Structure 1
Amino acid sequence: MNADPTIIELSIVEVEAGGNAGGGAYEYAFSQRVLLCTAKGEIQIRLNWMGPNQFKIYAVATSASQGQFEIRPIEQEGKQAVIINHCTRPELINLAVVVQGPSKKNPLIVCDPQVINIPDPDWQMLAVANG
């Protein structure tokens, strides 16, 4: 596994109109919109600490095939999600970070970066050779 985790920051704000989530009520952005992974590693999704502390990561869902991702429990304050990416096969993975917002009208906001797994063939051969 990679020694250093891949850190993706998620910024989200409530807007009057025209946002990209929650029926236009919220605007979100990831520090990396598309993540290309070539080896097993840890992905940390962190809520940006700027602004009011009113959002929490509620859940993480994924389209990854069985065994690709290991989603760890969300940390208690809801500011970080950790995913172990086993990167076992080439695959485009849709990832949904569900954030709980302050509004009673639109309490859950779906934020969705993409993860692309393209295992390094040399890494795969080394993993097979080392069992």
Structure 2
Amino acid sequence: AATVNVAEQRGHALLARGHALLARSLPDQAARCYDEAYGLLGETAAGMRARDLAHTALLAACAAAPSDADALAGLTLREREVAELAGQGLKTRDIAERLVVSPRTVDVHLTRIYSKLGVNTRAALAR
């Protein structure tokens, strides 16, 4: 009876998943799959290929990721002010008082900021 190396099979499955993620323009996720595949396949030919693919995918992810400066450039001056204060943990009412606007105006700014930056919480904004 033939033995099946489950770790090796999982490693090859992760390679395939990495290829699919890369094809969907998700290099950061692909890199994680390739890295995990390398961990399972080790110093075999497939393992070395996985390591190389992980490195290439990470480089692609870094090149594709917008920098914080690029993301902030899309905000208006007032949105940047609101984002900075919200990121510091201030509540809507406190931000409104500081900027001399209504709490509703702060909420509208936050909605636009979240949309532009692709986040949906103040905690994510702080990062």
TM range (shorter): under 0.3
Higher helix share: 2
TM-score under structure 2 normalisation?
0.25
TM-score under structure 1 normalisation?
0.24
Higher strand share: 1
The answer to which structure, 1 or 2, has the higher relative contact order (CA under 8 A, 6+ apart) is 1
